[in-house]
Amino acid sequence: MKTLLFAIAIFWQSTQATIAPDTIVVEKQIHPMVEKGGVPVDPDSTIFLFNGIGPYSLKQRVTQLKKRLSDLGEVQLDLTPLSTSYNNDVNDIIIRDKILMTVNQADAKALGLSLKGATEYYYDLLEKELSQKEPVFSNLLFVNIGVAILIIAAFIFGLKYYNRLFRLLSFKLRGQKGKLFTGFSIKQYELLTEEKQITLAGYLLSVLKYALLLFIVYLLLPALFALFPWTQGIANTLIGYVIDPLLSIGQKVVDFIPNLLFIAVIVFVLKYVIKLLKFFSNEVASGRLIINGFYPEWAKPTFNIVKGIFIALGFVGIWPLLPMSDSKIFQGVSTFFGLLVALGGAGAFSNIIAGLVITYMRSFKIGDRVKIGEVIGDVKEKALLNTKIKTIKNEIITIPNSQMISSHTINYTTANEEEGLILHTTVTIGYDVPWRQVHELLVDAALATEFVKKKPHPFVLQTSLDDFYVSYQLNARTREIQKMAAIYSELHKNIQDKFNEAGVEIMSPHYGAHRDGNQSAIPQQYLPEDYQAPWFRMKKEE
């Protein structure tokens, strides 16, 4: 009987177990936010996102926000509160100057709030979520404190040997006197003596010492701050101050490489084009290459002009490729300096243009004896801005090229290419002396002068018949252009001697025609020993 009852009980239980799943309905609650398409971010399902944003899908956005919250959970958040940045289309929730979450119109629409209301809603949820995170405070913190103490102790201990190292280097520098430091001279001028070199090297070594020390300290601070969660942000900021500029510079260098290669090609081509032009310029200047209508003295200035044009074209091609060439500040500074050159260099440019004109006019060349305005001398230097003349008194006179354009130029040297330069001087003789005698005396004086050519024969021109005398111009040729002053001086001496020997008075500027009772104008040594001044003669008419 007992066995039967036990079997009935087992059967009934098995029957109830089979029927229960079919007869019992388990109701599962669904979160309202999930029904709206929301995806939970936190384990407690208090923060939901409903759509993607920008290039991020909904799943990527949820994953990204989870990671940010997880990273922030290990940091003391009371030192870095949340803040909000309101914009037109989206609002940002920010922590430590970084965007934690961005709220857009789609989020606001899913919540049935305005954009500002949705932002405040998420702000409260995130603040609550982060405030529930407890910072990790374990034995690791004590380990980090110990590490920080060791770093500081090692720095203080190393500082002693750091100073010793630089003292040793300073001592070694002193020992290099006469070896590494032997003075520095430019031609005959000693720019740096041995002592000055050592002093300068010591100064640079001190600068290196303190600069390196500051750099080490700067690297130690992020290492110390990174050990503690509440100062990790400061560590990242300090590292960023060094890494970000280096990365920016490196990126700019990489971006500049194509432009740098293009600049190198321009410079390479320009260099060899100028070399080719210089070769032809030298050939023309030396006379080996003859171009009809093109004179050898034009070769150098023409080369300089063409060279300047090619360099200007190369600069125009390189300028847009330079870093910061499109910067407003760079353009403004360039314009300012260009304006200064344009306003202040007007006179200089006029002299340059005048110098080019004079060169192609071929008025003179280096070494020619010229007269420019009232200046007579030899051309010593021709430059773009001025020309230097050395006078017969060894004076160096600098004449601006623009002034030379506006005045006449006499070139005495070019006369040697024909029959020589004609030197001329004028004497005035009274009407009582026969003109044929005057001609003969003047020609004899010219022939007696050194460096005066005998052929063609000197000649005399009567240039005027004045009230009291006749003007006789003596003309004589010479090829000794550089001795003009000496030749004129000797010629005038010989004229005086010849006229005195012939007993002819040189009435210059003029004397009265009445000779009675007056001493002769001829010097005493040329007069007879028994010479006496005549008496005044008077004649009475019958």
CATH number, domain containing residue 462: 3.30.70.100
pLDDT of residue 386: 83
Please name which of 119, 209, 207, 121 lies closest in space to residue 164, comparing C-alpha atoms: 209
**Shared domain check, 174 and 91:** no
Handedness of CA 419, 425, 430, 433 (dihedral sign): negative
Q: Which residues 6+ apart lie within 8 Å of 478 measured at CB?
A: 420, 421, 423, 451, 452, 453, 484, 487
Give the burial class of 389: count Cβ atoms within 10 A of its Cβ; 0-12 exposed, 13-18 middle, 19 or more buried: buried
Residue 56 lies in a domain: yes
- In terms of domains, do 215 and 168 share one? yes
Residues 458 and 484 placed together within one structural domain of the fold? yes
Q: What is the pLDDT along the chain (542 residues), one digit of tens a residue?
A: 444 334 444 444 444 444 334 433 334 455 666 666 677 777 666 777 877 777 778 888 888 887 777 777 655 444 456 788 888 778 888 887 778 888 888 878 888 788 888 888 888 887 777 765 544 445 567 787 888 888 888 888 888 888 888 888 888 888 777 777 777 777 777 777 778 888 888 889 899 999 898 888 888 888 888 777 677 677 777 777 778 787 888 888 888 888 889 899 999 999 999 999 999 888 888 888 888 877 787 788 888 888 888 898 888 888 888 877 777 776 777 777 777 666 655 666 677 777 777 777 777 888 888 888 888 888 888 877 788 989 888 889 888 887 777 778 888 887 666 778 889 999 998 888 899 999 999 999 999 999 999 888 999 999 999 888 889 999 999 988 888 889 999 999 999 999 999 988 886 555 554 555 566 777 778 877 777 777 766 666 65
The pLDDT, as a whole number, for residue 14 is 44
In a domain, 276, yes or no: no
User: What local confidence, expressed as pLDDT, does residue 483 receive?
Assistant: 87
CB 419 within 8 A of CB 413: no
Cβ atoms of residues 209 and 244 within 8 Å: no
- Give the whole-angstrom CA distance, residue 476 versus residue 436: 18
Do 122 and 204 have their domain in common?
no
Burial-class residue 301 by CB neighbours within 10 Å (0-12, 13-18, 19+). Answer: middle
Torsion angle of the four alpha carbons 232, 237, 239, 244, in this order, in degrees rounded to the nearest 10 = 140
Q: How far is CA 150 from the centre of its chain?
A: 51
- Considering the domain architecture, whether residues 434 and 459 belong to the same structural domain is answered as yes
The C-alpha atoms of residue 441 and residue 435 are separated, in whole angstroms, by: 10
Collapsing DSSP to helix, strand or coil, 181 comes out as strand
Give the domain extent around 403. Answer: 359-411
Overall residue count recorded for the chain in this entry: 542
Does residue 47 form part of some domain? yes
Q: What does the pLDDT read at residue 475?
A: 95
Reduce the DSSP state of residue 146 to 3 states and report it: helix
Residue 52 lies in a domain: yes
Q: Pseudo-torsion of CA 108, 112, 114, 118, nearest 10°? A: -50
CA distances (Å), 192 to each of 183, 187, 471, in order?
5, 12, 70
Token pair 């990126």: residue: 251
Considering 179, 210, 227, which residue would you say is the last residue of a domain?
227
Q: Which of 31, 40, 35 is nearest to 58 (CA)?
A: 40
Tell me if 274 is assigned to some domain: no
Asked if residue 392 and residue 452 are part of one domain, the reply reads no
CATH of the domain at 366: 2.30.30.60
| Residue 133 structure tokens | 């995170």
Question: What total number of domains does the chain contain?
Answer: 4
Which structure tokens are listed for 302?
């023409």
Distance CA 461, CA 471 (A): 8
- Say if 521 falls within a structural domain: no
Domain end residue (candidates: 227, 261, 292): 227
213 assigned to some structural domain? yes
Separation of alpha carbons 399 and 405, rounded Å: 11
For residues 407 and 467, state if they share a domain. no
448 and 500 both lie in a single domain? yes
Same domain, 424 and 397: no
Q: Which of 110, 131, 152 is the last residue of a domain?
A: 131
Interior CA angle at 94 toward 89 and 100, to 5°? 90
424 and 440, same structural domain? yes
